[in-house]
Homo-oligomer: A and B are copies of this chain.
Amino acid sequence: MTVTEQEPGELTVEAVLRQLPLTPRTLRYYEEVGLIAPSSRTSGGHRLYDQKTVERLQQILRLKENLGVSLQEIREILDAEQALDALRQSFHQNRQDHERQLEYTDRYIEVLRQLIEKMDEKIESVTAMRDRYQERLQKSLYFRENGFRKNETEGE
């Protein structure tokens, strides 16, 4: 029983790729542009990730796939999120940090609002599109059964 992981639940590159449709290169590229970072390394320099990073990657993939936002934009979103998170982790609670907390929270809230708005717009336009294509499909199915008249203007 040779346990590979050093810390409980640290994942090798391979282990991450088993969970997500990525390549090693993509993982390294995302690190290069500041989207993720390995939680640690082996003594030999191999990257190790934690489960939080996997979730982060899932979020990245969803943002890409569903909203088509660039990695740059994704980074801004995740940064706002992380800045707030980091601040919450730190225990400093003097007035200074309270100010900063409000600032970061507001920034994050704004990011969230815009994202949600974007999603709502997308849902709406895709739905409208779906309806149009659904109608086309119905017509084609009808056409397939009944053949078509020369002039489609004639009702029957």
Contacts and interface: CB of A to CB of B under 8 A. Distances in A.
Interface residues of A, number: 35
Contacts of A122: 66, 122, 126
Q: How many copies altogether? A: 2
A143 interface: yes
B109 A62 contact: no
Nearest to A137: B112
A19 B91 CA distance: 55
7 contacts: A62-B129, A66-B122, A106-B144, A109-B140, A113-B137, A116-B133, A116-B134
- Ranked nearest first, the 4 interchain pairs of A and B with the lowest CB-CB distance are A119-B130, A112-B137, A68-B68, A66-B126
